[in-house]
Amino acid sequence: MKHLLLFSITLVAAMQVYADDEADSKTVLGPSNVYLYDGANALKAGDAESGVALTLKGLELAQGLREEKIGHANLCAGFVLLGKAETALEHCNWVLEQDPYHWRTYNNRAIAYLRLGRFEESEADIRKGQELNPRSEHLKEVKGMYLDEVEPVDEKITIDDQRSGPRSPPEKPE
Amino acid sequence: MMLRSLIGFVLVMAASVTAAEEETIVAHVFDSNINRIPVQTVAPKYPRKARRDRIEGKVEVCFEVDRKGRPRRIAVRNSTARTFERPSIKAVRDSSFKALEDDEKLPSIKSCRTFIFSLEPVEEVDVK
Which of A159, A160, A163 is the best substitution to test chain B (most B C-beta atoms within 10 A)?
Answer: A159
Side-chain-side CA neighbours of B49 within 13 Å: the count stands at: 9
- Min Cα–Cα distance to chain A from B109, Å: 7
Q: Looking at residue A39, which CATH number applies to its domain?
A: 1.25.40.10
Q: Is residue A27 part of a domain?
A: yes
At A97-114, the pLDDT tens digits run 999 999 999 999 999 999
**How, if at all, do strands B96-97 and B25-29 pair?**
unpaired
> Between chains, do A162 and B34 touch, taking CB under 8 Å as contact?
yes
Q: Give the total residue count for chain A.
A: 174
Q: Which residues of A touch B27 (CB under 8 A)?
A: 156-159
In A13-111, beta strands by DSSP E: 16-18, 28-31
Break chain B into its structural domains and give their ranges.
9-117
> Between chains, do A158 and B23 touch, taking CB under 8 Å as contact?
no
Q: Tell me which chain A residue has its CA closest to the CA of residue B50.
A: A144
Domain that holds residue A134: 2-150
Q: Tell me which chain A residue has its CA closest to the CA of residue B117.
A: A157
Partnered with residue B113 across adjacent β-strands are: A161, B61
Q: Give me the number of domains chain A comprises.
A: 1
Q: Is residue A161 part of a domain?
A: no
pTM of the model: 0.76
At B35-72, the pLDDT tens digits run 788 899 999 999 999 999 999 999 999 999 999 999 99
> Between chains, do A159 and B119 touch, taking CB under 8 Å as contact?
no
ipTM over the 0.90 cut-off:
no
Q: What CATH architecture does domain B9-117 belong to?
A: 2-Layer Sandwich (3.30)
Partnered with residue B17 across adjacent β-strands are: B41
Cα(A133)–Cα(A131) distance, rounded to whole angstroms? 6
Residue B105: exposure state from Cβ atoms within 10 A (0-12, 13-18, ≥19): exposed
- Min Cα–Cα distance to chain A from B17, Å: 10
- Min Cα–Cα distance to chain A from B66, Å: 15
What is the pLDDT confidence band of residue A9, given thresholds at 50, 70 and 90?
Answer: confident
Nearest to A13 by CA among A48, A50, A65, A55: A55
* Residue A107 φ then ψ, to 5°: -60, -50
Whether residue A146 has pLDDT greater than 80: yes
Q: Which residues of A touch B90 (CB under 8 A)?
A: none
Q: Is residue A174 part of a domain?
A: no
Q: Is residue A168 part of a domain?
A: no
